[in-house]
Amino acid sequence: MTGTDTSTQAPPEAPSLGRKVGSAARWSLLNTVVMRLGNFVTGIILARFFLGPEAWGIYGIAQTVLLVLLSANELGVSLAIVRWEGDPRRFAPTVLTLSASSSCLLYAVLFTAAPAVARVLGSPEASGILRVMCVCVVLDGLSQVPAGFLTREFAQGRRMAIDAVNFVLSTGVTLLLAVEGWGAMSFAWGSVAGNAAALVSCCLAAPGTLRFGWDREQARSLLRFGLPLAGASMLALGVVNVDTMVVGSALDQLALGFYVLAFNISGWPVRIISEAARRVSFAGFSRLADSPGALAGGFGRALGVVMTGTVPLCVLLAALAAPIVGLVYGDRWLPAAAALPWLMALGLVRIGCELAYDCLVAIGRRRSLIGVQGLWLVILIPVLVVGAGAGGIVGVAQGHVLVAGAVVVPVFLYALHRGGVALRTVARACAWPFLGGAAMAAVVLGLERLLGNGVLALLATAAAGSVCYALCILPSLGFLRGSPPAGATAAAGG
């Protein structure tokens, strides 16, 4: 009887984790979709009525610098709140002290160097915007600990409320200042207002976590854990944003504005699908890190779900680039459409690489990450410079895709293989979405030529392509749900 009791009481822990991850994923997806749709509408209003390509380019430079700084402003130590075993409140004060100190130091350096940075990037007018917008570096450093607690607890419902406050305040301030003629500076003050509200909201949602403290041994362990991750993260953000720097320095602000808009559009699927997944993927992979089989299966299903949701968005935006840009933003933005199909291909690669990044971090393959990201950046910079000279913003986009497909994807696959995720797992996750995407692209391109570019024609084309894609991926639904293969089920029954 005792053995029977033990066997019946042991399993609940795994389903409990599964329910947490599933609930968090649903909240995270809803949050991301709602916030991104809001940002999408705001961007349309600003681009059509208030800001031209030159102002958009200046904003793009400031946003690029901010993102690179945010990638390492807390030295990578905040991930210990999510990853380390035990009670995180024991070492959270040291994490907060390290995060806040490094963020303030980084902002002080940026404040001093802002004029020189702006000149090097081809936008001297961005100096003041950099100094304002990068206040967000300090605010983000302070919010890392309470946000980490929310991620560790899979509390994505509370994260959605925090992001809603951030969005409402940042958007309101940005629109108000844009109407008053502040130009690109409206983005800067809007970002600061939103991040300040997010910091306050994080503290309210995770009370008692904003507490400073110091323990020398904890600090050493945290830095040994975090610095490699911060380096890899900075390299990853450098990879994503170095193209903006190349366009800004090699071309003019008009071209930069078009490129920034095209890159932002290509990021819609990345942000909607990948950002939602990454808010739970790292915590989920971390819980499976000690079980190679479960980790490989979890990664395969996560990649399959992410690709299944992303491919149709990428196909639509790539195949209908010119009519979508003209319809949504106006004809003056049409030059941005030329680079968009290539950037959509890059976006698809980025989604898979970001999920692989989280998996490799969770299993402790930090050196592999630094190697992959470093190789990517070293090869990418000269290719982008050559591409900018040869083909403008289209050449830059093509260079991105060339390096990602020919170099980065194979290296990531090798790193995953060494971490226990076989190539066949990745191939199985991507096969049906890619097949469906190819069929969908053929249908969309054919119908566009037949029906034209009117609003109703575009809606009909998108609907027909989506139906075609849905039919193609039906055989993969069992895999995406985590159902065992039919043969395995029969064997179990026998």
State residue 256's pLDDT score. Answer: 85
State residue 234's pLDDT score. Answer: 75
> Which of the residue ranges 5-14, 171-180, 358-367, 476-485 would you say has the lowest mean pLDDT?
5-14
* pLDDT (average), residues 468-476: 90
State residue 285's pLDDT score. Answer: 64
Judge whether residue 133 has pLDDT over 90. Answer: no
State residue 363's pLDDT score. Answer: 72
State residue 361's pLDDT score. Answer: 72
* pLDDT (average), residues 273-286: 59
The residue among 99 and 24 whose pLDDT is bigger is: 99
What confidence tens digit (pLDDT) does each residue in 191-217 have?
Answer: 899 999 999 998 888 888 888 989 888
Judge whether residue 120 has pLDDT over 80. Answer: no
State residue 485's pLDDT score. Answer: 46
* pLDDT (average), residues 217-233: 80
* pLDDT (average), residues 361-372: 72
* pLDDT (average), residues 73-95: 77
How confident is residue 47, by pLDDT bands cut at 50, 70 and 90?
confident
State residue 439's pLDDT score. Answer: 95
State residue 401's pLDDT score. Answer: 93
How confident is residue 281, by pLDDT bands cut at 50, 70 and 90?
low
* pLDDT (average), residues 224-234: 76
Most confident region among 157-166, 342-351, 356-365, 480-489 by mean pLDDT: 342-351
State residue 192's pLDDT score. Answer: 93
Distance CA 292, CA 417 (A): 11
State residue 10's pLDDT score. Answer: 40
State residue 14's pLDDT score. Answer: 43
State residue 189's pLDDT score. Answer: 92
Most confident region among 109-113, 356-360, 438-442 by mean pLDDT: 438-442
